[in-house]
Each structure stands twice: as structure tokens, then as C-alpha cells.
Amino acid sequence: MNTSPSAGLIARDITVDYGRSTPALDAVSLTIETGVVTAIVGPNGSGKSTLLRTMGRLHTPQRGTVLLDGQDIFQRPTRDLARELGILPQSPVAPEGLTVVDLVSRGRDPHRRWFDQWARSDEAVVFAALERTGMTALATARVDDLSGGQRQRAWIALALAQETRTLLLDEPTTYLDIAHQLDVLDLVRTMHEEQGATVVMVLHDLSMAARYADRIVALRAGRIIADGTPADIITPPMLRDVFDIEATVIVDPNTGRPHVLPIRRTG
């Protein structure tokens, strides 16, 4: 784990304002530790997606900046940045008829030279990405024909093919059934364990976040309310403050991580 102060993804004083009464993000600062899986959680409208998207350069903040290895990501050429930082947005859509290989090979864009449109190295990387996500058998299948979990894995393979050191995932498990959720999150964990990847994910499900992340950042109304390990963070007071629920927190006997049992709404 790299502890140098300028390494890694750092968000500084990010303010995003859509012109409504309260800003979506209010002077948020966050330092993402390298080699760690971080989950960003929060109720609807807390700004978690906005924060992730800003850190992934999909959104420009009104104030503040994001640094990657000491460099402002908004000043870096897009293509350069794409080799270091990848982001998978929520519910991406593939055009009708696209095959998995075609989809994943888009991940090679930041590396590809225009005259060498299907280099052997590209093919090798795409194959490795498909292998990592267990999609080699479905390489020539159409994305439309895949199940929800398979489709999400194909998109993750695209992000892998980019060969970035940091990967941001915006709600990768929403709209997936429980089996596919486990599928995707197990994949993320494997990538992290085997490669020491830096992953930041926005997750809806607190218990999933607790189970798969090493660090949880909780947002509410555009501000970070809590930040720490799952064991430290997932507590009834935090759930009250951030999520407006009364809940019991138990230790999941299978994983040893906190698990939330909601009782009722408070506020």
C-alpha cells in the first residue's frame, strides 16, 4: 500500500451546485487510499454518485479539484487519464447487436494506436479481461442476449481492459438480483485481492458495502458524515444520522462483517 501523500486519488473541497437550494456536494474532501476497496454510501440525493462521477472526471465541480498522483485530473489530457483511472457509470447501455468482444475492446481505446486497430497486445489484454471476469465462453455473444449479471461483468471487463490502476464503479449492482450481485462483488473482491486494485464503489446496500469494502464513506446532503472501517462505521447512531432509520447491527456469522437489520424509519 502506497502511503506517499501525493499518490492516489484525492478529492479536495469539491462543491457541486445545480442551482437548487442546497448544493449536491458541499466542500467535500476525500482521500482514497491505494490498494483498498472503498464504498461510498448514503441515502438518495446524498451526492454519492455525484462525488464518484466528479472523481472520475465525468462531472466538473464548481469549486475544488481532484488529484491523481498529485496531478489535477481536469487538466490532464483525457486519453492519458483514461490509462490510469477508469469509471463505470450506472446502467450503461450498449447498442443493439454489439458483441461482447466489440464491447470490451472499447476499453483498449486509450492505448490503441490508430493505424494498429487490433494489435496482438490488444487481443491479449481483452482476452485476459474476459478471463478475469469469466466471460471467455461468451466472447462472441451479443450483449443484449446476456443476463443482468453477465452484462455487468462484460462492462467490468471493458474497464479491466483499460488496464487502469484505479477503478470507480457507480452502483454496479443496482437492478441485479441477489445471485448476480454476489457475482459482481465477488469479482471485485477477487480483482482486489489478486491485483491489489484500488476500487471505489457507490453501493446502495449497506450490508453489501460492509461485506465487501475495507472502508466506508457515508454521505448525507452533500457532506461526509462518517468515514472508517465497516466495523467502526456501521452503527445504530450512524444509521440514525445518515439514513433516518432505527436498526440493529449484528455481526454476520458467515463473513464476520456488520449486517444491518432495519427496524423502522425515524425522521
C-beta of 228: minimal distance to other proteins in Å?
A: 25
C-beta of 138: minimal distance to other proteins in Å?
A: 12
Q: How many other CB atoms sit within 10 Å of the CB of residue 128?
A: 15
Residue numbers of the site for other proteins (CB under 8 A)? Answer: 53, 56-58, 77-83, 86-89, 92-98, 101-103, 105-107, 109-112, 114-121, 123-130, 132, 136, 139-140, 158-160, 162-165, 167, 191, 194-197
Which residue, 46 or 105, is less far from other proteins as judged by CB? 105
Which residue, 2 or 229, is less far from other proteins as judged by CB? 2
Which residue, 120 or 265, is less far from other proteins as judged by CB? 120
CB under 8 A, 24+ apart: contacts of 142-145: 142/97, 142/98, 142/99, 142/100, 143/94, 143/98, 143/99, 143/100, 143/103, 144/94, 144/96, 144/97, 144/98
Which residue, 190 or 235, is less far from other proteins as judged by CB? 190
The answer to whether 61 and 14 are in contact (CB under 8 A) is yes
Which three cell numbers mark 207?
A: 450490508
CA 34 to chain centre: 14
Q: What is the DSSP string of 235-264?
A: SHHHHHHHH-EEEEEEE-TTTSSEEEEEEE
Which residue, 136 or 235, is less far from other proteins as judged by CB? 136
C-beta of 43: minimal distance to other proteins in Å?
A: 23
C-beta of 4: minimal distance to other proteins in Å?
A: 16
The amino acid that residue 15 corresponds to is: T
C-beta of 108: minimal distance to other proteins in Å?
A: 8
